[in-house]
Amino acid sequence: MTNQVSALNLADILDEHRRRWPNNVAAVDEDGAVRLTYPAFAARVDRLAGALIGAGLGSGDRILWLGQNSFRILELILAAAKLGAIVSPANWRQSPDELDFIVADAAPKLTVWQEKEVGERVRGAQSFRKTGLWLRHDADVSGASEYERFLTAAEPAGELDFVDPALPLVMIYTAAFGGSPNGALITHNAIIGQSLVYGPARQITADYRYLNVGPMFHVATLMETLATFVMGGANVFVPRNDPEEICRIVDAEGINGAFVIGPAMEQLAEANKDRRYNLKTLRALKGSDAWNDMVTVDDSPWGQKPFGFGQTETLGYATYSLLQGAGAMGRSSPVVLARILDEAGSEMPDGEVGEIAVRGQTVSPGYWNRPELNVQRQGQGWHRTTDLGRREADGSISFIGPKGQLIKSAAENIYPAEVEACIRRHPAVKDVGVIGVPDPVWVQHVKAVVVLKPEATATEADIVEHCRAHIASYKKPRIVVFALTIPRAGFAIDYAKLNADHGGGGYPGGG
Amino acid sequence: MTNQVSALNLADILDEHRRRWPNNVAAVDEDGAVRLTYPAFAARVDRLAGALIGAGLGSGDRILWLGQNSFRILELILAAAKLGAIVSPANWRQSPDELDFIVADAAPKLTVWQEKEVGERVRGAQSFRKTGLWLRHDADVSGASEYERFLTAAEPAGELDFVDPALPLVMIYTAAFGGSPNGALITHNAIIGQSLVYGPARQITADYRYLNVGPMFHVATLMETLATFVMGGANVFVPRNDPEEICRIVDAEGINGAFVIGPAMEQLAEANKDRRYNLKTLRALKGSDAWNDMVTVDDSPWGQKPFGFGQTETLGYATYSLLQGAGAMGRSSPVVLARILDEAGSEMPDGEVGEIAVRGQTVSPGYWNRPELNVQRQGQGWHRTTDLGRREADGSISFIGPKGQLIKSAAENIYPAEVEACIRRHPAVKDVGVIGVPDPVWVQHVKAVVVLKPEATATEADIVEHCRAHIASYKKPRIVVFALTIPRAGFAIDYAKLNADHGGGGYPGGG
């Protein structure tokens, strides 16, 4: 526990914003029907904290959000910050069964849910209204909201025990790669540290107006929501991702930032092709000429190169491409340490591939309710990201790919992603998956399944030779076969199927 | 104690810099004879930490520096960071008696001292070589240095216990207003938090080259030394403040920043009037035309308005004028909370004067070895700065003046500084001091001692009327007398003498 005079948690920041930025807008929602200055927002948060205490919530208790984007997510996070409680904005697109898993896992004392667009799924869950308190936040046919009644009926919380900023405040369930989702815990310190780095990088100040259009259960949006809050800016919320509606709100609210990338930019450009809306306040990435002409193409270093390596467990970027070097991911954030480790936890030399491990202010102290996974991922004092990277000679970091299933050839460990990255650079190759095949002498040997580009040709020997030229010889495939597709589950290679189709197996640790 | 995976201390940052910025220069000293990249600097720090452990130093132990600016101050701070020890760079201009006080108070296990220019005073102290280990850092006639021998003879420290960043790392003795100096403790968190705010404000990046020309025992220099380190930039050290030498080093090292303000700028312009040296890399404040033409006049917002309220106990700025508002001091730093408090610790309404109190990441957890003072200054969970301020309606803060001795008129508390600030705005007034005079009915009444400008005239009634128009009526002086000077001790009014000369007394709490 840090000395209180020297400490700062997220609730403290709101308490100061009400004084420091009394005239700034904190939150806008429901198409402008909700518009709260920092003092008004802080007053609601005080009352909500009082209501939570009245409902028996305290330090370490979980609050689950089952709804679309709303100012109430930020409000709940700030009220939880006063109590030391934890808020999890869950993916509202999940099935009733998936929701049941989350409810059972998080065991929330309070679940706030939404009827509109989400209610059918929520009400279809076995757990509905069975565990702890459930409050519907959107208005019912009478115009009343359970959540609002809960909040407004309470007295503001009085003086509370000090909450250590090293405690978790937010929990984000990560994608369920190879099993169930896990709730990554995010601390007050992580939010403050990331905001102090990301804020200046993205030029977020107290004048900044951020449109929460991406899902707030994903760090790509949430890290900017929170940085906007920490800097005293305005968060504007929109439940749905509708191009015309977004254009209208950008114009009406003078939005400066939003998670709008790739095809979404062109959808907005199309929706606004008659130039009905003025989008010039929006600092955006470069797109089509029509788009570039419509918005302010971000000329900050951030806008020029919006990269970084990160994940939920680091509340977004752990490296910043702004800190330029030979490696495209740039260098570790000022508040993060990065190491490239082998399986045993020893540091790899520069230029060699290993697992990226991190430590520092923005790093999760672990997963909720996962003691074994926490030992596996963090037992050596570092958080292992399960992603592969390489430290370049200039200190910057290259991302190789997800670690995947380790291949064992005699005493050597081989990461499929490293071999795949090498083969993918061959000009004839469109896609590739690499597996280990049981070997009576060497434990396993490497097999590459290659998809060639249309009209392109390459032989097995070409691919092997290409690998020999670019990676250590023991990593090159012993066998190369050609196929029409690589099986995938979403973006990721479906290794279970690839192994089954091509004789893979014998992996260290089984499988 | 924070979870180690989520924690970050100053030694961690060095450990990452050696990987993140392997080619960057960390420190330059002795006119370029010392030039250390981050890996080389980190290797020295490892060895120094080993030597400190070998000498019996550990968590909480103090290391005293009695010398001019040197890269060894930063080196000691970083080695101490690995151990949890505390480094105090003391004012080398102090008398032997003052040095004895500091040595007795800090009770250092290690004192590093310097012969050149400082040795006579240090050797003249009673405590010389009597308490703990003393090491001379500059070379003796044989060219050997006790400090270097100590460092190079040791093995690098191995794996050490984790050091909580909430612990103090640096101790700065504050000026001895009304008594003895007090060692303000500065934590790892304070250094990291201030660097993340001050760094971007001052545009300090890994390319930044900072010249340590101001004294490193003062936060005005030290906060920038440390921010330059945290951002991976280069610290260049110079022991003396010689204009020609500074010009030469700015040119030779491509210096970007230095604590050069006011008359010092014109001294440099004069020393370089033949334009022998190229000072264009130096981002500086505006001065004379010759100066502006010689350097790069800082066009950052920081350069335009280089203000903020701060003190040693907040490692420099606690408010940033960059966060502009009606109050000249701007708004509280993103990592600091500020309150305007009355004597009892209640918050004053906006627009009313009270004592500025602060809390947050950059705030000192207290003074070394001063339990009573710590209760007095921090007992209510806030650090009381002993300075008066006012929160404006827009949330920004105005600085009024040092709190001084409280005057009691009936039930009302009156701060001399507030009345003085009001009277000083009268066009005829050159200087003013305000005291309390014993009053049989009202405890005390207010008396103003005024020095008029040459040729200016004003009557007692004019001054009283001026006060009535600008501050609450009970604060206006009952008596105004005119004098030729106000007695001062340095910059501060000598209230003991002012009271003695003008019948002051009867203050609450005695005096």
ipTM, two decimals, is 0.91
Residue B191 sits at the chain A interface (C-beta within 8 Å): no
CB nearest to B200's CB, from A189, A200, A332: A200
Residue B46, class by beta-carbon neighbours within 10 Å (0-12 exposed, 13-18 middle, 19+ buried)?
buried
What percent helix, strand, coil does chain A show, rounded to 5? 35, 25, 40
Span A477-489, average pLDDT: 93
CB nearest to A189's CB, from B6, B20, B339: B6
Inter-CA distances, A62 with A14, B149, B337, Å: 21, 56, 28
Quote the CA–CA distance of B24 and B194 in Å, as a whole number: 22
B346 vs chain A: nearest CA distance in angstroms? Answer: 14
B384 vs chain A: nearest CA distance in angstroms? Answer: 10
Instruction: Judge whether A66 and A113 are in contact, CB under 8 Å.
Output: yes
Q: Taking a contact as any Cβ pair under 8 Å apart, which residues of chain A between 269 and 328 contact chain B?
A: 323
Instruction: Judge whether A122 and A129 are in contact, CB under 8 Å.
Output: no
Tokens standing for residue A259? 């998670």
Quote the CA–CA distance of A11 and A8 in Å, as a whole number: 8
Quote the CA–CA distance of A163 and A510 in Å, as a whole number: 44
Quote the CA–CA distance of A397 and A58 in Å, as a whole number: 41
Tokens standing for residue A120? 């059918």
pLDDT at A415: 86
Instruction: Judge whether B336 and A6 are in contact, CB under 8 Å.
Output: no
User: Mean pLDDT score of chain B, rounded to an integer?
Assistant: 93
Residues ≥6 apart with Cβ < 8 Å to B489: none
Inter-CA distances, B5 with A314, A357, A376, A406, B164, Å: 11, 10, 13, 25, 12
- Comparing alpha-carbon positions, the chain B residue that sits nearest to A38 is B395
User: What are the residues facing A359 on neighbouring strands?
Assistant: A337
Give the A:B interface size as CB pairs under 8 Å: 150
Residues ≥6 apart with Cβ < 8 Å to B12: A337, A359, A360
Give the position of tokens 């919380």.
Answer: A157
pLDDT at A142: 95
Instruction: Judge whether B285 and B306 are in contact, CB under 8 Å.
Output: yes
Instruction: Judge whether B49 and B156 are in contact, CB under 8 Å.
Output: yes
Residue B19 sits at the chain A interface (C-beta within 8 Å): yes
pLDDT at B300: 64
Could you tell me which of B302, B260, B301, B251 has the C-alpha nearest to residue B281? B251
Span A3-29, average pLDDT: 96
Residue A354 sits at the chain B interface (C-beta within 8 Å): no
Q: Do B360 and A331 touch (CB under 8 A)?
A: no
Report residue B510's pLDDT band, with 50, 70 and 90 as the boundaries: low
Residues ≥6 apart with Cβ < 8 Å to B223: B194, B198, B315, B316, B317
Span A241-245, average pLDDT: 92
Residue A366 sits at the chain B interface (C-beta within 8 Å): yes
Report residue A114's pLDDT band, with 50, 70 and 90 as the boundaries: very high
Which one of B19, B380, B397 makes the best mutation probe of the A interface by having the most chain A beta carbons within 10 Å?
B19
pLDDT at A139: 96
B185 vs chain A: nearest CA distance in angstroms? Answer: 11
Q: Do A381 and B7 touch (CB under 8 A)?
A: no
User: Mean pLDDT score of chain A, rounded to an integer?
Assistant: 93
Report residue A179's pLDDT band, with 50, 70 and 90 as the boundaries: low
How do residues B431-465 score in pLDDT, each as one tens digit? Answer: 999 999 999 988 999 999 999 999 999 999 999 99
pLDDT at A389: 96
Residue type (1 letter), B125: A
Quote the CA–CA distance of A196 and A193 in Å, as a whole number: 5
CB nearest to A5's CB, from B16, B192, B378: B378
A398 vs chain B: nearest CA distance in angstroms? Answer: 13
Span A135-162, average pLDDT: 96
Span A3-7, average pLDDT: 90
| pLDDT exceeds cutoff 60 at B306 | no
Span A394-404, average pLDDT: 91
pLDDT at B1: 43
Residue type (1 letter), B388: L
Strand, helix or coil for residue A173: strand
A98 vs chain B: nearest CA distance in angstroms? Answer: 29
Q: At what angle do helices A71-83 and A38-54 cross, to 10 degrees?
A: 60
**B121-135 b/e (C-beta count within 10 Å ≥ 16 → b):** bbeebebbeebbbbb
pLDDT at A286: 87
pLDDT at A1: 44
Could you tell me which of A297, A322, A296, A298 has the C-alpha nearest to residue A308? A322
Task: For strands B283-284 and B62-66, give the pairing.
Answer: unpaired
Range with the poorest average pLDDT among A114-128, B167-181, B263-277: B167-181
Residue A136 sits at the chain B interface (C-beta within 8 Å): no
Quote the CA–CA distance of A89 and A66 in Å, as a whole number: 7
CB nearest to A22's CB, from B190, B232, B395: B395
Q: Do B13 and A334 touch (CB under 8 A)?
A: yes
CB nearest to B6's CB, from A15, A365, A394: A365
Percent above pLDDT 70 for chain A: 96
Residue B13 sits at the chain A interface (C-beta within 8 Å): yes
Q: Do A5 and B365 touch (CB under 8 A)?
A: yes
Residues ≥6 apart with Cβ < 8 Å to B337: A8, A12, A15, A16, B358, B359, B360
- Comparing alpha-carbon positions, the chain A residue that sits nearest to B350 is A19
Span A88-105, average pLDDT: 92
Quote the CA–CA distance of A502 and A486 in Å, as a whole number: 11
Q: Do A20 and B331 touch (CB under 8 A)?
A: yes
Inter-CA distances, B68 with A374, B125, B151, B162, Å: 48, 17, 19, 31
Inter-CA distances, B282 with A250, B248, B249, Å: 41, 12, 11
The conformational region for residue B289 under phi > 0 = left, psi -120 to 50 = alpha, else beta, is: alpha
Span B68-90, average pLDDT: 98
Instruction: Judge whether A341 and A347 are in contact, CB under 8 Å.
Output: yes
> B335: which DSSP letter?
T
Residues ≥6 apart with Cβ < 8 Å to A176: none
Residue type (1 letter), B334: P
| pLDDT exceeds cutoff 90 at A93 | no
Inter-CA distances, B89 with A227, B62, B78, B218, B366, Å: 36, 11, 13, 9, 17
Tokens standing for residue B92? 């080398």
Span B363-386, average pLDDT: 94
How do residues B154-208 score in pLDDT, each as one tens digit? Answer: 999 988 999 999 999 999 998 655 568 899 999 999 999 999 999 998 889 999 9
Could you tell me which of B210, B37, B358, B196 has the C-alpha nearest to residue A360? B196
Span A34-63, average pLDDT: 98
> B312: which DSSP letter?
G
Report residue A509's pLDDT band, with 50, 70 and 90 as the boundaries: low
Sorted by where each starts, the structural domains of chain B and their CATH numbers stand as 4-297 (3.40.50.12780), 318-402 (2.30.38.10), 407-502 (3.30.300.30)
Report residue B291's pLDDT band, with 50, 70 and 90 as the boundaries: very high
Give A364's contacts in chain B (Cβ within 8 Å). 5-6
Which one of A1, A3, A204 makes the best mutation probe of the B interface by having the most chain B beta carbons within 10 Å?
A3
B186 vs chain A: nearest CA distance in angstroms? Answer: 10
Residue A82 sits at the chain B interface (C-beta within 8 Å): no
Could you tell me which of B363, B382, B509, B502 has the C-alpha nearest to residue B445? B502
Quote the CA–CA distance of B243 and B264 in Å, as a whole number: 8
How do residues A247-260 score in pLDDT, each as one tens digit? Answer: 999 999 999 999 98
Give B360's contacts in chain A (Cβ within 8 Å). 6-8, 12
